[in-house]
Structure 1
Amino acid sequence: MKKSKEPFALVHVDVLPEAIRRTLEAKRLLEAGEAGNVQEAVRMAGLSRSSFYKYKDAVFAFNAMIREKIVTISLVLEHKSGVLSQVLGFLASENVNVLTVHQSIPLQGEATVSLSVDTAQAAREPEEWIRELAGLSGVRRALIVGVGH
């Protein structure tokens, strides 16, 4: 399917054509494991395979579009210029969106920083990149302290 520059539209399922509603059902059956393959899913949904393939990449259940995953990270950073900037740059390179930053006043050369980040677009799970974050110059500790949706 060709990528459209048009924005998504939120439409109630009651006004959708039957083929699109059945495509949604077939996709649900596949995701839930109630159908083992596309052939079985379209049969159960009462849909042709050609209709399924026509619409499958263009129609999504609303809850499938919401993939936000909020992670809270606690950091202890060395109090020197550029350390927080380096951390934020690393997170950006991981496609992690920073939502909030809370930093304490530095004491004895260290500052505590708490970040809330959205990892929905990240290529890797937080557990995979947190060790690399902890190994950055000036980062004395990096821990995941909370995960939510």
Structure 2
Amino acid sequence: MTRKKFYLVREDMLTEAMQKTLEAKALLESGKKRKINEAVHEVGLSRSAFYKYKDGVFPFHTMTKEKIITLSINLEDRSGSLSAMLATVAEAEANVLTINQTIPLQGRANITLSIDTATMSLEIDELVEKIESMEAVEKVELVGSGS
């Protein structure tokens, strides 16, 4: 997996679609709009543009306060593989909040892991790379973050 880098960019340097995506996300987070369709309509943005940028643009305050992440992990069904993966998370001094594992089908299981990263000794991307490098791990995706 390519390491994702983050940049601090002044608002006037963002494209109009990125700025409107941030506005739509703010409407949804504040509860002023309950549906994505309503939020994008109010700010004058297409849904496709919203979905293109929604996971890639964040207000600065959001990036500095996020402490909880949710990972989706595809894991081979091997004895001890889940335990080893959790040990890697523990070594990073992260706190596991929730864990959900599907029943293994065709030798693979999906793990959804919510982690509090407030006291973590690694950066999030470093933890993801460590988990991805494990022999039994096929794929790791960051599917959510918040505080």
Q: TM-score range by the shorter chain?
A: 0.5 to 0.7
Alignment correspondent of 1:88: 86
What is the alpha-carbon distance in structure 2 between the residues aligned to residue 106 and residue 130 of structure 1? 22
Q: Could you tell me which of 101, 104, 124 is aligned with 2:102?
A: 104
- Alignment partners' CA distance in 1, 2:136 and 2:143: 20
Taking the aligned partners of 1:129 and 1:101, their CA distance within structure 2 comes to 16
Deviation at 1:128, TM superposition (A): 2.0
Name the structure 2 match of 1:71: 69
Q: Does 1:128 align with 2:122?
A: no
Gaps of 5+ in 2: 1-64
Q: TM-score, normalised by structure 2?
A: 0.54
CA deviations 1:50-107 (Å, max 9, x no partner) are: xxxxxxxxxxxxxxxxx77110000000001100000100000000100101000100
Equivalent residue number for residue 45 of structure 2: none
Partner residue, 1:118: 116
User: Normalization by structure 1: what TM-score?
Assistant: 0.53
Matched to 2:90, the amino acid is A
Does residue 1:141 correspond to 2:139, yes or no? yes
Q: Is the 8 A contact 1:70 1:147 kept in 2?
A: yes
Letter in 2 for 1:74: S
Q: Which has the larger radius of gyration?
A: 1
Q: Does the 8 Å CA contact 1:68/1:118 hold for their aligned counterparts? A: no
**Equivalents in 2 of 1:125, 1:148: separation in Å?**
15
Q: Which aligned segments of 4 or more residues in structure 1 are displaced greater than 2 angstroms? A: none
